[in-house]
Structure 1
Amino acid sequence: MAIVQCPSCSNSISSKHPTCPHCKTAIHDLDEEQLHRLAVKSRVKKQQKILNQSFIALILFLGGFLYLYNQHPVKGSIEYNACIGVIAVSCLWYLVNRAILVYLKKKN
């Protein structure tokens, strides 16, 4: 008995399980090609999730910047500090997501 990763959900399971207890995928009935397809589908789904998050971060960054540019809040006010905070957090979030995407592409 060995611990393996489910090709569909990537959770750790026992090699003796006929189905994954997490996603209910029948593992013993699949051949190598089907296992490979499931692994690729799971990887693409993960990459798409990270890509969607990076777009959300980019929209927040642009929204904070445009509000700061158009409304001209006073330095030190709550609006100004909120804009700067949103810009900083979303920029960091975007860069981290892009680094994760590069890592996932190089991993394969």
Structure 2
Amino acid sequence: MAIVQCPGCSKSISNKTKVCPHCQLQLGELTEEQIERLAIKKRISKQQKFMNHSFLALILFLGGFLYMYWHQPEPDSLQMIAAQGAIAVGCVWYLVNRVVLIYLKKKK
């Protein structure tokens, strides 16, 4: 008996299990090709989620930068701190998402 990941929910299950106890996926009725297709679909879905997060992080970064550029808030004002915070959070969030995407692509 070996522990494998369910292709539907990615939780650990026995390779002898016919039905996943977590997501109720009927593993006994699936062929190897269908199981592989489910795993690929799940990986692509995860990649798309991180691509969307990267896009939102980029929007946050650019929003903070453009606000500072057009409005030129006073130094040490609440607007300046908020714009700098948006730039910092957006930049870090974007970089983390890109690293995760590279890891997911190499994982194949």
TM-score by length of 2: 0.93
What is the rounded CA distance, in whole Å, between the counterparts of 2:103 and 2:40 in structure 1? 16
Distance in 1 of aligned mates of 2:21 and 2:71: 53
Instruction: Work out the number of aligned pairs and report it.
Output: 108
Q: CA deviation at 1:48?
A: 0.6
Task: List gaps (5 residues or longer) in structure 1.
Answer: none
- Does residue 22 of structure 1 match 2:22? yes
Q: Which residue of 2 aligns with 1:77?
A: 77
Whole-Å Cα distance in 2 between the matches of residues 56 and 22 of structure 1? 31
Q: CA deviation at 1:22?
A: 2.4
Runs of 4+ in 1 over 6 A off after TM superposition: none
One-letter code of the match for 2:88?
A: A
Note the 1:1-108 alignment, pairs <5 A: 1-108=1-108
Question: Residue type matched to 2:41 in 1?
Answer: K
> Cα RMSD over matched residues?
1.1
Comparing 24-33 with 34-43, greater Cα deviation is found at 24-33
Q: Distance in 1 between matches of 2:94 and 2:11?
A: 26
Q: What letter is aligned with 2:27?
A: I
User: Residue 86 of structure 1: CA displacement?
Assistant: 0.9
TM-score (norm 1): 0.93
Contact 1:8 1:41 in 2 (8 A): no
Residues 64, 83 of structure 1: 8 Å contact kept: yes
Q: CA deviation at 1:77?
A: 0.8
Q: Unmatched 5+ residue regions in structure 2?
A: none
